[in-house]
């Protein structure tokens, strides 16, 4: 029940009837069927039923893709079909200029302009911006409906790599939020919808720029804000009825988790350029005293089911993890730095981490969130809380 206690328990085991255990994996030294490709052979150690395979042979099927479309091989499993495609060629020439696949993050499923059509947002390294697509059901395709302005000069080219949406001022109009290292305006750029149903209009300049993190990490040297964050979260973490912007300060010093919100009664104005709003720091940690490393994600989760949310912080430093809890409006508690169990490094001495952070969900229905991470260089990880 203690969200800062990292005693672990097994919550899922791959045992049962009839049991499959594919073991070991081997790549054959010969071409078994003479087609020019070697095969992967797997034996099923616990094959006991007539319906279970004893030996499985897998063969590589080459994958090809044309940026312009037309000769791609989708490799779909049985009973799956393509519902819609958004090809790179539907974007402008700047977006297409990066042949490596410049969209580090894509999110979707929200209806920001309330027209009944769900949007998808992709980040764009080439333009230092984000691009909004909308589903065209009639043609089974995605259309580009809005892009944030191209950033002409940045302190670091590999941004943005994360984006999220929320309603930070609580006025019912969604905002698009992402970090930018624009040399003239470092910080989190916030574009608010104009409130017109179906408009797909989020402005030609930000509605606000949150630069609290810039002042903390980089002081007068705004160039230290690289905007290459892995994840950001917009969520009412403390239950006060107002969403907070929850980030992990990855660069500069001090680093750590940061929770900020708009001052009460502040209202973001669509396409205003910002500057009239006031940001309040609700909570901040220093990663040096909680395991060190590069902060990657500050993830809200109710680990012990008490109705108060914790923030699970993940760093690139032996998969470092530590928590703090929201116990009421603008009120947070954390274990004393240096105390036993104040942080946890499950992969030590192997220095591993999770790209893009983790996800929280109550998978087993016990009223406690589990937090799941893909371990870059390792395996799946579960923090049972």
* Residue partners of 14: CB distance under 8 A and separation at least 6: none
What is the per-residue pLDDT for 151? 96
Count up the domains in the chain and report the number: 1
Confidence grade of residue 226 (pLDDT, cut at 50, 70, 90): very high
Q: Which of 22-26, 117-121, 242-246 has the lowest mean pLDDT?
A: 22-26
For residue 58, being part of any structural domain is answered with no
Confidence grade of residue 16 (pLDDT, cut at 50, 70, 90): very low
d(C-alpha 195, C-alpha 270), whole Å:
9
For residue 41, being part of any structural domain is answered with no
Q: Which of 253, 314, 246 is nearest to 288 (CA)?
A: 253
What is the per-residue pLDDT for 162? 95
Decide: residue 91, CB within 10 A, 0-12 exposed, 13-18 middle, 19+ buried.
Answer: buried
Confidence grade of residue 80 (pLDDT, cut at 50, 70, 90): confident
For residue 2, being part of any structural domain is answered with no
Mean pLDDT of the chain: 86
Structural domain of residue 110, as residue ranges? 86-383
For residue 3, being part of any structural domain is answered with no
Model pLDDT for residues 164-216, shown as the tens digit of each residue = 999 999 999 999 999 999 999 999 999 999 999 999 999 999 999 999 999 99
d(C-alpha 350, C-alpha 137), whole Å:
47
Which CATH number do you get for residue 320? 2.115.10
What is the per-residue pLDDT for 33? 77
286 neighbors 256 (Cβ within 8 angstroms):
yes
Q: Write the DSSP assignment of 324-340 as a string of letters.
A: EEEEETTEEEEPPTTST
For residue 18, being part of any structural domain is answered with no
For residue 263, being part of any structural domain is answered with yes
For residue 366, being part of any structural domain is answered with yes
pTM of the model: 0.82
For residue 68, being part of any structural domain is answered with no
């Amino acid at each position: 029940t203690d969200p800062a206690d990292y005693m672990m328990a097994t919550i899922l085991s791959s045992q049962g009837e009839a049991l499959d255990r594919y073991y070991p994996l081997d790549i054959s030294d010969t071409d078994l069927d003479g087609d020019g490709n070697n095969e992967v052979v797997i034996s099923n150690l616990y094959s006991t039923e007539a319906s279970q395979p004893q030996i499985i042979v897998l063969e590589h099927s080459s994958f090809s893709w044309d940026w312009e479309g037309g000769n791609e091989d989708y490799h779909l499993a049985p009973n799956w079909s393509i519902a819609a495609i958004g090809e790179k060629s539907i974007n402008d020439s700047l977006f297409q200029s990066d042949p490596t696949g410049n969209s580090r993050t894509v999110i979707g499923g929200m209806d920001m302009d309330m027209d009944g059509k769900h949007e998808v947002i992709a980040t764009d390294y080439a333009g230092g911006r984000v691009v909004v697509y909308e589903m065209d059901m009639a043609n089974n395709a995605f259309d580009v409906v809005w892009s944030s302005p191209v950033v002409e000069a940045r302190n670091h080219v590999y941004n943005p790599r994360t984006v999220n949406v929320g309603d930070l001022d609580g006025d019912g109009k969604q905002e698009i939020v992402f970090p930018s290292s624009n040399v003239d305006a470092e910080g989190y750029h916030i574009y608010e919808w104009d409130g017109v149903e179906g408009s797909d209009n989020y402005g030609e300049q930000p509605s606000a720029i949150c630069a609290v993190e810039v002042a903390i990490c980089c002081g007068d040297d705004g160039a230290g804000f690289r905007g290459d964050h892995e994840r950001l979260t917009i969520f009412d973490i403390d239950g006060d009825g107002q969403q907070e912007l929850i980030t992990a300060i990855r660069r500069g010093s001090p680093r750590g988790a940061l929770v900020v919100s708009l001052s009460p009664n502040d209202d973001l104005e669509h396409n205003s350029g910002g500057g009239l709003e006031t940001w309040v720091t609700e909570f901040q940690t220093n990663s040096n005293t909680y395991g060190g490393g590069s902060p990657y994600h500050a993830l809200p989760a109710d680990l012990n089911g008490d109705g108060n949310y914790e923030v699970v912080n993940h760093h690139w430093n032996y998969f470092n993890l530590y928590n703090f809890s929201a116990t009421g409006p603008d009120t947070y508690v954390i274990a004393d730095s240096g105390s036993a169990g104040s942080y946890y490094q499950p992969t030590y001495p192997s220095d591993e981490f999770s790209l893009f952070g983790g996800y929280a969900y109550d998978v087993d229905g016990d009223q406690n969130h589990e937090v799941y991470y893909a371990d870059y260089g390792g395996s799946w990880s579960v923090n049972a809380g």
